Amino acid sequence: MKNTVLFLFASLIMAASTSNWSQPAEVRHEDALVISYTARVDGPYLVVRADVAQGWHTFALDNVQRVNDKLAGKPALSMDRSTEIEVTGVQVESPWQETPPKDFSRPSLRMFSFGYDRQGIFAAKIRPAGLASAVRFAKLRIRGQACTETVCKNIDATLTVAVPGSSRNPVEIKLDELVQAR
């Protein structure tokens, strides 16, 4: 009996620590999962996680700026779309930060792109709108692109995430591992 109670208690703690992520918004191509987005509030930050399927990659928030920097005024043969995150229901108070993106560029072809092939994390400081003690909801619209070597899929996904009225919770994400999107 004691072991059963301990097991149930441990299960509840584990569920509570993983349940603050929103329900996933999945993007599919021909029934195969391409990318899945989840979000949560972590202290005063809104955090968005992009889990990318094997063989696919997606792009950084500042992909276009990074590409333009690399091209230094030369025309691009093609350019992959940056990831965009629109938020309603809370006020975004800081620039977005992101996991340092990988360089997928092929300079010999004058093709440059930067992004994620497994997981990307995006975070911005927010301020809940409305009453301080109530739980509110933020709505996120994520647009961008995910590609394989042969095909690209446009992304237009929506998420809803609970926003507690108080941001006194400790921050669990490692902000020092993120870079500011340009």
Whole-model pTM: value is 0.82
Q: What is the CATH number of the domain that holds 42?
A: 2.60.40.1250
Indicate the average pLDDT of the chain: 84
Structural domain count, the chain: 1
Return the higher-pLDDT residue of 26 and 173.
Answer: 26
Q: What's the pLDDT tens digit per position in 94-143?
A: 999 999 999 998 888 778 899 999 999 999 999 876 655 566 899 999 99
Confidence of residue 3 (pLDDT cuts 50, 70, 90): very low
Average pLDDT over residues 75-97: 91
On whether the CB atoms of residues 160 and 90 are closer than 8 A, the answer is no
On whether the CB atoms of residues 89 and 138 are closer than 8 A, the answer is yes
**Residue 156 falls inside a structural domain:** yes
**Residue 76 falls inside a structural domain:** yes
- 85-121 burial, b at 16+ Cβ within 10 Å, e below that, comes to bebebbeeeeebbbbebeebeeeeeebbbbbbbeebb
What gap in Å lies between CA 118 and CA 167, rounded to an integer? Answer: 29
Q: Dihedral, CA atoms, 53, 24, 152, 74, nearest 10 degrees?
A: -100
What gap in Å lies between CA 86 and CA 178, rounded to an integer? Answer: 19
50 burial class (0-12, 13-18, 19+ CB within 10 angstroms)? buried
**Residue 12 falls inside a structural domain:** no
The range of the structural domain enclosing residue 100 comes to: 22-180
**Residue 26 falls inside a structural domain:** yes
Q: Please report the sign of the dihedral spanned by the C-alpha atoms of residue 146, residue 151, residue 156, residue 162.
A: negative
**Residue 9 falls inside a structural domain:** no
Average pLDDT over residues 23-45: 95
Average pLDDT over residues 72-82: 82
What gap in Å lies between CA 163 and CA 80, rounded to an integer? Answer: 32
**Residue 61 falls inside a structural domain:** yes
Look at residue 161 and tell me whether its pLDDT is greater than 80.
yes
On whether the CB atoms of residues 161 and 142 are closer than 8 A, the answer is no
**Residue 6 falls inside a structural domain:** no
